[in-house]
Amino acid sequence: MEEGIRINKYLASCGVASRRGADRLIGEGRVSIDGRTAQPGDIFREGSVVCVDGRNVSVQKKVVLAYYKPAGVLVSEEDPHAEETLMDLIDYPVRVTYAGRLDKESEGLLLLTNDGDLIHAMMHGSHGHEKEYIVHLNREPDNTVIEKLKGGVYLKEAGHKTRPCRIEKLKRNVVRMVLTEGINRQIRRMWSGEGYHVKALKRVRIMSISLGNLMPGEYSELTKEETDSLYRQAGLTR
């Protein structure tokens, strides 16, 4: 641990939250350093005692899990009305959180980790990390529409034009899509704007990590080779 780092970066290295999430915890007055309430921009120094909600936190061994999120599970830790959230289903001895969400109706690969720096690097849209999806539509897509979506379309609700993406027709009503950004409900919005309905959506790859043989609700720790590859692509060292 380097000497004299910002408190939000320290909390991220402890796996408490991403840096943005750590900033929120600090703003809510839930973080203390050596018994005093932490302030944004505070510096952590070796030997200091940091607590979140009164519980001491420290740097842990970094872990990354591949998890198959079932359809119908909410990826959230903050919705008090959710019947079943992701963290209710993960039985793992180290606290982990997700790098990039999937909406409740969607299923497939999530990467879970206690490394806030990795989460930050993976979720930063400007890095252009690939995410691959299998999309089932209510009817066969027109080739003209496919070419239009591949070039990028304006999403009124998001106030944003999507980046160019790859789309490959696999079956009559099924396509493979590879995106390099993560706008909320992006794929559903893209097809809805052209008059199509997404019946099912599965994410099968994030960067170099694939869903593989995992079944809904299962998770596995990444191998050393997989983890090293992921960190390299994220521009980080372990």
Domains of the chain plus CATH, in order, are: 5-57 (3.10.290.10), 60-214 (3.30.2350.10)
Check if the beta carbon of residue 101 is closer than 8 Å to that of residue 146.
Answer: no
Phi and psi (nearest 5°) for 3? -80, 135
pTM of the model: 0.76
For residue range 210-219, what is the model confidence (pLDDT) as tens digits? 999 999 999 9
Q: Provide the 10 A C-beta neighbour count for residue 179.
A: 22
Catalytic residue among 34, 88, 91, 103: 103
pLDDT in tens, 77-95: 554 444 556 666 777 777 7
Q: Which residues are 6's β-sheet partners?
A: 43
Query: How far does Cα 158 stand from its chain's mean position?
Result: 19
Contacts of 219 (CB under 8 A, 6+ apart): 65, 66, 67, 68, 90, 92, 112
The angle subtended at Cα 186 by Cα 227 and Cα 127, nearest 5°, is 40
Q: How far is CA 145 from the centre of its chain?
A: 28
pLDDT at 95: 76
- Give the per-residue pLDDT at 1: 44
SS3 112: strand
53 is catalytic: no
